[in-house]
């Protein structure tokens, strides 16, 4: 039992490094953790007693306990444990791993998997055009697309501000993402606030940005009018039924998730190596000067001191904010370097793409991304891209997605004060060099349209 004891100790350590707020703290409080560990021990000993993998429920995310399989209704089975607490799934995964090491074979799980055939993660940071690029996948008839589901986790879980911070958040994000890719959307219920009742919620972040969540059968008729912050765009629906969403997810051939909260590619290794998944990661990057210019518009209040310093010569920008910018650039660069190095585990699973290239040739780049993902692009996707990237005179400027994208992508050069462009260049040089964003030595270069700040990087991006 020593081996397993250690494993549960690991788990406890992980949980301890994570500080939960409010409800989640109650939910995963120390007592609960002990109970979980106790349960896990019990299950492990049961499994090891029997050592009969065939009797184990194969779909750990299956939540329907009325399944005809007799093992499912067994109180002590993993499935009923899941029913007790679907958040337990995270630990279920590790348990699965333990069982596999115990002599199981992964084929069992592959044969019986109901999860989507292929998963796409659009890994980006804010203001890199990821909502726009995410639409390329949202518009596909056979892709279940989720827009920023990790938002709920960031809102609910507060991470220790000391060193464990980055690691613990990355672990939670990764584990939740893993469940989502298996269509276990129930995992989100623990993080959505207020907590869904009977799997119903009106607070699914940006539901309207996910086509499937706004179509039949997930879009149920409205029973009574009620406030819905993230309502569907083209029609009104009843509250989101997460169980229906899970079903819709399982009925689609593929799945795509856009996420701006995954910072380190290396943390995704567990997902890449998960035999139940077939993950393709697309990292989207953009010129950090353009990102800053865009953030200064979108989150104007946060950048008051930056503007005052650049335009009025007021007090310098606080050092920690500059360091944060540097940290962002560095984590993007580190991930991209790892991806481009093509370690064995990432081979064929990583693609780097620049927003600027997409803006200049959206359709061509969309086709490249689909080719990389191994999914055929459909006329519906092509039509959406054509409609939303070549703005005609009449529709100009009405919708933010409808714009002449090859005209738009360099606008930042005329809006950012040169001093701020310089700050970015100073701290982000290594990232800019890697991605082919040329430094501007003076204001004239920055604002001269005939000088390109973009190095061509043909065929360097797909691995």
**390 near ligand NAG, judged by CB under 6 A:** yes
Helix residue ranges per DSSP H, 51-163: 70-73, 78-84, 89-101, 107-111, 130-138, 151-156
**402 near ligand NAG, judged by CB under 6 A:** no
Contact 211, 378 (CB under 8 A): no
Select 314 or 451, whichever has its Cβ closest to ligand NAG.
Answer: 451
Q: Binder to ligand NAG among 52, 75, 162, 459 (CB under 6 A)?
A: 75
**126 near ligand NAG, judged by CB under 6 A:** no
Nearest-approach distance from CB 359 to ligand NAG, in angstroms: 10
Q: Binder to ligand NAG among 1, 52, 54, 66 (CB under 6 A)?
A: 66
Select 62 or 228, whichever has its Cβ closest to ligand NAG.
Answer: 62
Contact 406, 357 (CB under 8 A): no
Contact 154, 259 (CB under 8 A): no
- Type and span of the H or E element at 447: helix 443-447
The one-character DSSP state at 316 is P
Nearest-approach distance from CB 293 to ligand NAG, in angstroms: 19
State both tokens at 172. Answer: 């939670």
Instruction: Say whether 463 sits in a helix, a strand or coil.
Output: coil
Select 9 or 298, whichever has its Cβ closest to ligand NAG.
Answer: 9
- Type and span of the H or E element at 384: helix 379-389
State both tokens at 342. Answer: 């093509």
Number of Cα atoms under 13 Å in the Cβ half of residue 222: 12
* Cα→Cα distances 421→6, 307, 320, Å: 50, 12, 18
Nearest-approach distance from CB 82 to ligand NAG, in angstroms: 11
Select 79 or 123, whichever has its Cβ closest to ligand NAG.
Answer: 79
Using the rule CB under 6 A, give the single segment among 146-154, 283-291, 399-407, 453-461 that binds ligand NAG. 399-407
Select 68 or 162, whichever has its Cβ closest to ligand NAG.
Answer: 68
**386 near ligand NAG, judged by CB under 6 A:** no
Q: Report 243-302 residues binding ligand NAG (CB under 6 A).
A: 243, 270
Query: For ligand NAG, what does the binding mask look like between residues 425 and 454, x meaning CB under 6 A?
Result: -------------------x---x-xx---
Contact 185, 252 (CB under 8 A): no
Using the rule CB under 6 A, give the single segment among 18-26, 91-99, 143-151, 306-314 that binds ligand NAG. 91-99
Select 142 or 390, whichever has its Cβ closest to ligand NAG.
Answer: 390
Contact 428, 287 (CB under 8 A): no
Residue closest to 240 by CA, chosen among 213, 277, 263, 278: 213
Query: For ligand NAG, what does the binding mask look like between residues 10 and 49, x meaning CB under 6 A?
Result: ----------------------------------------
**94 near ligand NAG, judged by CB under 6 A:** yes
**97 near ligand NAG, judged by CB under 6 A:** yes
Using the rule CB under 6 A, give the single segment among 49-57, 93-101, 113-121, 316-324 that binds ligand NAG. 93-101
Nearest-approach distance from CB 421 to ligand NAG, in angstroms: 17
User: E-assigned strands of 16-148?
Assistant: 18-20, 118-123, 143-147
How buried is 434 (Cβ within 10 angstroms: 0-12 exposed, 13-18 middle, 19+ buried)? Answer: middle
User: E-assigned strands of 221-296?
Assistant: 240-241, 254-259, 279-285
Cα-trace Rg, the chain: 24
Residue closest to 249 by CA, chosen among 339, 117, 347: 117
Using the rule CB under 6 A, give the single segment among 18-26, 118-126, 363-371, 404-412 that binds ligand NAG. 404-412
Nearest-approach distance from CB 342 to ligand NAG, in angstroms: 20
Positions touching ligand NAG (CB under 6 A) are: 64, 66, 75, 80, 93-94, 97, 243, 270, 390, 404, 406-407, 444, 448, 450-451
């Amino acid at each position: 039992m020593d081996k397993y004891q250690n494993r549960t100790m690991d788990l406890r350590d992980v949980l301890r490094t994570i500080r939960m707020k409010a409800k989640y703290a109650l939910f995963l409080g120390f007592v609960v953790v002990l109970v979980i560990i106790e349960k896990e021990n019990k299950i492990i000993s049961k499994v090891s007693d029997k050592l009969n993998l065939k009797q184990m429920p194969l779909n750990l995310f299956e939540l329907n306990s009325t399944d005809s399989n007799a093992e499912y209704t067994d109180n002590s089975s993993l499935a009923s444990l899941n029913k007790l607490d679907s958040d337990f799934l995270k630990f279920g995964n590790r348990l699965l791993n333990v069982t596999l090491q115990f002599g199981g074979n992964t084929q069992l799980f592959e044969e019986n998997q109901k999860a989507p055939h292929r998963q796409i993660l659009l890994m980006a940071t804010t203001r890199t055009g990821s909502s726009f690029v995410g639409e390329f996948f949202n518009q596909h008839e056979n892709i279940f697309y989720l827009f920023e589901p990790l938002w709920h986790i960031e809102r609910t879980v507060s991470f220790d501000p000391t060193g464990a911070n980055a690691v613990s958040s990355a672990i939670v994000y990764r584990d939740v993402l893993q469940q989502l890719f298996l269509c276990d959307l129930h995992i989100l219920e623990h993080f959505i606030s207020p907590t869904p009742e009977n799997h119903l919620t009106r607070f699914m972040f940006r539901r309207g940005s996910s086509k499937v969540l706004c179509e039949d059968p997930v879009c149920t008729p409205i029973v009574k009018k009620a406030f819905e912050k993230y309502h569907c765009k083209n029609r009104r629906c009843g509250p989101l039924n997460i169980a229906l969403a899970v079903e819709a997810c399982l009925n689609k051939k593929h799945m795509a998730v856009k996420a701006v909260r995954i910072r380190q590619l290396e943390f995704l290794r567990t997902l890449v190596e998960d035999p139940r998944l077939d993950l393709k990661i697309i990292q989207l990057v953009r010129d950090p000067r353009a990102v800053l210019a865009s953030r200064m518009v979108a989150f104007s209040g946060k950048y008051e001191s930056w503007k005052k310093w650049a335009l009025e010569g007021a007090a310098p920008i606080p050092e920690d904010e500059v360091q944060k910018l540097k940290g962002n650039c560095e984590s993007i660069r580190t991930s991209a370097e790892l991806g481009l190095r093509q370690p064995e585990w990432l081979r064929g699973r990583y693609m780097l793409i620049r927003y600027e290239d997409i803006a200049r040739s959206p359709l061509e780049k969309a086709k490249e991304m689909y080719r990389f993902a191994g999914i055929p692009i459909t006329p519906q996707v092509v039509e959406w891209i054509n409609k939303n990237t070549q703005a005609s005179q009449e529709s100009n400027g009405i919708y933010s997605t409808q714009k002449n994208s090859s005209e738009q992508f360099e606008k930042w050069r005329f809006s950012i004060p040169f001093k701020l462009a310089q700050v970015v260049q100073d701290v982000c040089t290594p990232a800019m060099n890697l991605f082919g964003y040329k430094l501007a030595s003076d204001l004239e270069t920055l604002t001269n349209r005939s000088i390109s700040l973009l190095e061509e990087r043909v065929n360097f991006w797909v691995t």
